[in-house]
A = this chain, B = another copy of it.
Amino acid sequence: MTRAQAAKPSAVPDREEALELYRRMLIIRRFEDTVQDLFLKGQVHGTTHLYSGQEAVAVGVCSVLAENDRVAGTYRGHGHALALGVEPQGLLDELLGRATGVCGGRAGSMNVIDLEHRLIGCFGIVGGSIAAATGAALALKREGGVAVAFFGDGATNQGYFHECLNFARVFRLPAVYVCENNLYGEFTPYEQVTAGEIRARAETLDISSQTIDGNDVFGVQAAAREAVDRARAGEGPCFIEALTYRYVGHSRSDPGRYRKPGELDEWRARDPLIRAREAIGDTAEVDRAVEAQIAQVIENALAAPFPSPDPDAREFKDG
Contact = CB atoms under 8 A, between A and B. Distances in A.
Contacts of A293: none
A165 interface: yes
Nearest to A157: B166
A201 interface: yes
Interface stretch (A7-15, A68-76, A191-199, A224-232): A191-199
Nearest to A197: B204
A158 interface: yes
A194 B194 CA distance: 22
A194 B204 CA distance: 11
A33 interface: no
B204 A200 contact: yes
Interface size class of A (residues with CB under 8 A): 20 to 34
Given A200-B204, A204-B201, A204-B204, A170 B195 contact: yes
Q: Which of A165, A195, A196, A200 has the most CB of B within 10 A?
A: A195
Contacts of A200: 204
Interface in A162-184: 162-163, 165-166, 169-170
Given A160-B159, A161-B162, A163-B157, A196 B204 contact: yes
Nearest to A164: B159
A317 B157 CA distance: 34
A118 to B, nearest CB: 27
Interface string A186-212: 000000111111001101111100000
Contacts of A203: 204
Interface in A252-271: none
A192 B170 contact: yes
Contacts of A170: 192-195
A163 B163 CA distance: 10
Interface string A232-263: 00000000000000000000000000000000
Nearest to A191: B170
Nearest to A169: B195
Nearest to A198: B204
A172 to B, nearest CB: 10
A193 B169 CA distance: 9
A158 B157 contact: no
Nearest to A127: B159
Given A196-B205, A201-B205, 18 more contacts: A157-B162, A157-B166, A158-B163, A159-B159, A159-B160, A159-B162, A162-B162, A165-B195, A166-B194, A169-B195, A169-B196, A170-B192, A170-B194, A195-B207, A197-B204, A201-B204, A203-B204, A204-B204
- Top 5 nearest A-B pairs (CB, nearest first) are A159-B159, A162-B162, A169-B195, A195-B205, A204-B204
21 contacts: A157-B166, A159-B160, A159-B162, A162-B163, A165-B195, A166-B193, A166-B194, A166-B195, A169-B195, A169-B196, A170-B192, A170-B194, A195-B206, A195-B207, A196-B204, A196-B205, A196-B206, A197-B204, A201-B204, A201-B205, A204-B204
